[in-house]
Chain A
Amino acid sequence: MFELRGVTKRFSELAAVGGIGLAIRAGERVALVGPSGAGKTTLFNLLNGSIPPDEGEVRLFGCDPHRLPARELRRLQQQIGTVHQQFHLVGNLRVIHNVNAGHLGRWSLFRALHSLVRPLEVDRAVRWLRGLGLEDKVFERNDRLSGGEQQRVALVRVLVQDPSVILADEPISNLDPEHSRLVMDLLRELNERRGKTVVICLHDVNYAFSHCERIIGLRSGHIAFDDRVSEIPRSLVDDLYRLERCG
């Protein structure tokens, strides 16, 4: 599904990701752990085709996204849903429109316009929002929501998009324990019952062990370890964070 070979990405001389090789197969449930600045977000942007690598090769669904014609690239990206760390929602729009933005890859221009005047597919959006405790916010403006609420809206948008891969960049960083569990359970269920490939970037190591099958540790742009959960001793993950703090 995803294949990275010797991928390097620099931002003004500084390598955010340096020579990474990585393969993720369909149906996997992967946790990506590592201290801040380890290159997790950059890796995600490489995986969803938003940025091209400086060196090496990125293959999504077996193709190089940056060689595809625009239309083909869009079709491919519709299969990859990203929950961004800073949500990246449109503040002035109501929640329903932000959620419905998940349909944009499929909707015709006319349909997209129509929905802005009179929201379409409200029922579907409401069902997902209700599942995450947001049923009373459907017609609220997005910038009136709290951080935790926006984070869940961003997740609902991806659920509505219904991609075959979900990339979640710290999806529970703003949530209370109750909602964190709700979201993590949901992601696991999407993987187990719907066969969606799920890659989650996490700071909470406990969830990495309890909810994922495979853990990839990142440190300063390199892969520190990559194995099945059962093969990884807890201390290895703890070291990842500790080393960074000393260095």
Chain B
Amino acid sequence: MRLEELESARPIVIAAPERARAAAPPAAAARPLALGRRHLWLLAVIAAVAWSLWESGLFRRELVNEGGWSLVLRLASSILRPELSAEFLAVAWQATLATLAFAACGTALCLLIGSVGGILASEVWWESVFPPRGAGRSRLRTARGPWLAVRTLLTVPRAIHEIVWGVLLVAILGLDPLVAILAIAIPFGAITAKVFAELLDEAPRHSLGALRASGAPPLKAFLYSLVPEALPDLISYSFYRFECAIRSAAVLGIVGAGGLGYEILLSLRSLRYEQVWTLVFALIVLTGLSDLWSGLVRRKLGTGSRFDSTLKTRTIGDTPRYRVDPVIKGSILGVGLLTAFGFWYVGADVARLTGSRTAQLLGQLIAEAIPPTLGGMTLLEFLDVCGQTLAMSILAIGLAGIGGALLSFPAARNMLVPGGVVHPGGRRPAGRVAGVGAYLVSRAVLLFFRAVPAPIWALTFLFVFFPGMLPGALALAVYTLGVLGRLMAEATENLDTRPLTALRAQGAAGSHVFLYGVLPAVLPRYTAYVLYRWEVCIRATAMVGLVGAGGLGRLLTERVSSFDYAAVATVIIAYIAIAWLVDLVSAAVRRDLR
């Protein structure tokens, strides 16, 4: 081989025997088609966003309420003087405790449902109860029936957002702390059951097989084999659920269950903005602390980034080993104490659940809901509302995805700060300060965006926008941006930095390293997060709809307040159908991008 030959355009024949045998020099691989499946999805995304924008009425009708700006200004300006009177601080303290108590009790119940449901929803359980007989295609048949049944049963509570559960439970139980606890426990329990089942199914099975072969009954064999194998992941996921429960507990205040969300709503409605900020700060501290705690426990357990267990991206085989670390021991004890405190603090009247009045109301409600009706709307009108809900979620996730991705890079510890891979400032002190500044500011913005619950964002946007899907979409977008930006920053921090330093070592500038090293590595991860949050977003439209933004959520509120349960049932069915559709699309996209 000669260098001249390599560098000239002439085809060359390499001396190696297997190359020489080929008569003609092999043509270089053809360029891939301009329009692959990925491009089709990209076009679909652009079309969906365009349709959603049109649906939102942008450029078509007046959307902005000019009079609202003064209110927003007042709200923003009072951030510097939150109300700190002893009297109000006591209110805020009680509300914070209530929110914490709801979350603790909700998580405890959720874990109870999740553990039982998780075992029942796992394939491996049914296979050990009904050991496969015979061979070939009929092998799994017996185990598959009950497994599918439990799986399907679990999708229903999952498709309905906590706040919808809250609204329904208020109708049955009245304004009681139980409402908040159950509204968290039911949907969270179903999600937890699904995740637990997947964790159990993924755990190595040799030990279970050995125990079953020695004649141990299924449940005992489970307790001594799969459960300990999956335990670190189970604990880690439980803490993540607790973190989520705190946010939900705050939001649930809006249906009247009490706690921080309720107080924020009251203060906002009575235009006491100084109070709003005091409560928002309390919420930020509470969620921030629970984030830190859960993050610490998860790090100690060695179970990486927070969504890994739900996204199933961890490779099997590197199951983290469970060491009983003092932090974990303490945390488990702490959670136990917190739960006990929670039940004592809210003083939930559990007897009410089994009371005859509850059963009577529940029966009445179900009787009224069958058969579901459209409640005086035409089918077309109803479908239009469904379309609005879908458009709201697309708009929200689109904005959140773009904004979150943009903010995630300055917010990642290994990017712009000195020593980071794309740190642009060199050794000049100004560059260092700019990098650190961008890091701190973006982190703070993300924290603020996700600490304020989406319905509160919606109420704020409703100051300046006329009710409709746009303020709802914006509110969801801001909140989701906070969540996504944080997740994406974590993904970026977990990057393999060696290819990046290799690019750096050959003299590439920061921006180039970003383009050729960082971006291609994180994009698949980011897409997966966006799709996952889209599924969450569609359920969350109920939350902003409840405070007056458009879509199915608003329809639901109207129907509930007019006690038209037959129409409520239709809305819920529509929600389940849309959530199911979104899951399907998201799964298809993920498959094609893999």
- A interface residues, Cβ below 8 angstroms from B: 45, 48-50, 69-71, 73-82, 84, 86, 88-93, 97, 100-102, 104-105, 107, 109, 112-113, 116, 119, 122-123, 126-131, 133, 135-140, 158, 161, 163, 178, 182, 185-186, 189-190, 193-194
Contacts of B504 in A (CB 8 A): 50, 77
Asked if B23 lies at the interface with its beta carbon under 8 angstroms from chain A, I say no
In the complex, are the beta carbons of A89 and B507 less than 8 A apart?
no
Tell me what chain A mostly uses at the interface: helix, strand, loop, or mixed: helix
Contacts of A93 in B (CB 8 A): 516, 520
In the complex, are the beta carbons of A78 and B507 less than 8 A apart?
yes
Asked if B352 lies at the interface with its beta carbon under 8 angstroms from chain A, I say no
CB distance from A46 to the nearest CB of B (A): 11
16 contacts between A and B (CB under 8 A): A45-B505, A48-B505, A69-B426, A75-B507, A90-B520, A93-B516, A97-B516, A104-B508, A109-B511, A127-B9, A129-B28, A131-B12, A138-B29, A161-B506, A182-B14, A193-B3
Kindly state the separation between the CA atoms of A89 and B426 in the bound complex, as whole angstroms: 24
Asked if B133 lies at the interface with its beta carbon under 8 angstroms from chain A, I say no
Kindly state the separation between the CA atoms of A178 and B504 in the bound complex, as whole angstroms: 32
Most buried by B among A70, A71, A139, A158: A70
In the complex, are the beta carbons of B427 and A74 less than 8 A apart?
no
Q: Please name the 3 residue pairs, one residue from A and one from B, whose CB atoms are nearest each other, closest first.
A: A70-B426, A77-B507, A78-B507
Asked if B523 lies at the interface with its beta carbon under 8 angstroms from chain A, I say yes
In the complex, are the beta carbons of A92 and B505 less than 8 A apart?
no
**Which residue of the partner chain A has the closest CB to B32?**
A139
Asked if B498 lies at the interface with its beta carbon under 8 angstroms from chain A, I say yes
In the complex, are the beta carbons of B3 and A86 less than 8 A apart?
no
Asked if B592 lies at the interface with its beta carbon under 8 angstroms from chain A, I say no
Report the contact-size class of chain B (Cβ under 8 Å from the partner).
35 or more
In the complex, are the beta carbons of A90 and B508 less than 8 A apart?
no
CB distance from B111 to the nearest CB of A (A): 37
Of residues 376 through 394 on chain B, the ones whose CB sits less than 8 Å from some CB of chain A are none
In the complex, are the beta carbons of B499 and A136 less than 8 A apart?
no
Most buried by A among B7, B505, B509: B505
CB distance from A221 to the nearest CB of B (A): 21
CB distance from A213 to the nearest CB of B (A): 19
In the complex, are the beta carbons of B14 and A133 less than 8 A apart?
yes
Contacts of B18 in A (CB 8 A): 178
Contacts of B19 in A (CB 8 A): 133
CB distance from B115 to the nearest CB of A (A): 38
**Which residue of the partner chain B has the closest CB to A137?**
B29
Picked from A49, A82, A136, the residue with its CB within 8 Å of the CB of B28 is: A136
Contacts of B28 in A (CB 8 A): 126, 129-130, 135-136, 138
In the complex, are the beta carbons of B515 and A136 less than 8 A apart?
no
Of residues 496 through 528 on chain B, the ones whose CB sits less than 8 Å from some CB of chain A are 498-499, 501-509, 511-513, 515-517, 520-521, 523-524
In the complex, are the beta carbons of A49 and B516 less than 8 A apart?
no
**Which residue of the partner chain B has the closest CB to A127?**
B6
Asked if B26 lies at the interface with its beta carbon under 8 angstroms from chain A, I say yes
CB distance from A184 to the nearest CB of B (A): 11
**Which residue of the partner chain B has the closest CB to A135?**
B28
Contacts of A109 in B (CB 8 A): 509, 511-512, 515
Asked if B31 lies at the interface with its beta carbon under 8 angstroms from chain A, I say yes
Contacts of A112 in B (CB 8 A): 511-512, 515-516
Most buried by B among A84, A107, A127: A127
In the complex, are the beta carbons of A74 and B509 less than 8 A apart?
yes
Asked if B25 lies at the interface with its beta carbon under 8 angstroms from chain A, I say yes
Kindly state the separation between the CA atoms of A122 and B16 in the bound complex, as whole angstroms: 24
Apart from the given pairs A81-B506, A90-B499, A104-B506, 14 other A-B contacts in the complex at a CB distance below 8 Å: A50-B504, A50-B505, A69-B426, A70-B427, A88-B499, A92-B521, A104-B507, A109-B515, A119-B31, A122-B31, A123-B9, A135-B27, A182-B1, A182-B14
In the complex, are the beta carbons of B3 and A190 less than 8 A apart?
yes
> What per-residue 1/0 map shows which CB atoms of B473-517 lie under 8 Å from chain A?
000000000000000000000000011011111111101110111
Contacts of A50 in B (CB 8 A): 501, 504-505
In the complex, are the beta carbons of A130 and B3 less than 8 A apart?
no
In the complex, are the beta carbons of B523 and A92 less than 8 A apart?
yes
> What per-residue 1/0 map shows which CB atoms of B10-23 lie under 8 Å from chain A?
00101010110000
Contacts of A90 in B (CB 8 A): 499, 516-517, 520-521
Picked from B6, B9, B502, B508, the residue with its CB within 8 Å of the CB of A128 is: B6
Kindly state the separation between the CA atoms of A133 and B13 in the bound complex, as whole angstroms: 11
Known: A78-B507, A88-B502, A92-B523. A182 touches B9 (CB 8 A): no
Known: A70-B427, A71-B426, A109-B512. A101 touches B524 (CB 8 A): no
**Which residue of the partner chain A has the closest CB to B25?**
A130
Picked from B2, B16, B425, B506, the residue with its CB within 8 Å of the CB of A82 is: B506
In the complex, are the beta carbons of B26 and A135 less than 8 A apart?
yes
Kindly state the separation between the CA atoms of A127 and B5 in the bound complex, as whole angstroms: 9
In the complex, are the beta carbons of B1 and A104 less than 8 A apart?
no
